Amino acid sequence: GQQVMQIPQYQHVQEGEDFTTYCNSSTTLSNIQWYKQRPGGHPVFLIQLVKSGEVKKQKRLTFQFGEAKKNSSLHITATQTTDVGTYFCAGDGGGSQGNLIFGKGTKLSVKP
């Protein structure tokens, strides 16, 4: 079945360093979403990308959707301790309405 893979699984950075997580789908996606889950919390929507090659920025976060709409990335510039959490990408699973396929996530820890 369709899979969404994320790398790396874990990333430990020093505060102020940059961070990037990558997301790859086995099939072409119509759109991709990114969520952040703080430790002990629930996923919180960050952004949705729809167009091929789309790039969106939210302050220190930059999101990209690949030209082939099969991959995506999230880049955080100058990480802060508030960035700690697990970042998930989620692609449309097709078939069933509402079926988002989540990756396993990248867990980010930031050392002050």
The residues, ordered by sequence, that sit 6+ positions from 45 with a Cβ below 8 Å of its Cβ are 33, 34, 35
Q: Is 24 in the site for another protein (CB under 8 A)?
A: no
Angle at the Cα of 103 from the Cα atoms of 99 and 106, rounded to 5 degrees: 145
Judged by DSSP in three states, 81 sits in helix
To which residue do tokens 């980010």 refer?
108
Q: How far apart are CA 17 and CA 37, in angstroms?
A: 20
CB 99, min distance to another protein, A: 5
Q: Is 2 in the site for another protein (CB under 8 A)?
A: no
Residue 31 or 77: the one with the smaller Cβ distance to another protein is: 31
Residue 18 or 26: the one with the smaller Cβ distance to another protein is: 26
Q: Is 93 in the site for another protein (CB under 8 A)?
A: yes
For another protein, the binding residue among 99, 108, 109, 110 (CB under 8 A) is: 99
For another protein, the binding residue among 56, 62, 70, 100 (CB under 8 A) is: 100
Stretch that binds another protein, among 11-19, 54-62, 65-73, 93-101 (CB under 8 A): 93-101
**Measured in whole angstroms, how far is the alpha carbon of residue 95 from the centre of its chain?**
22
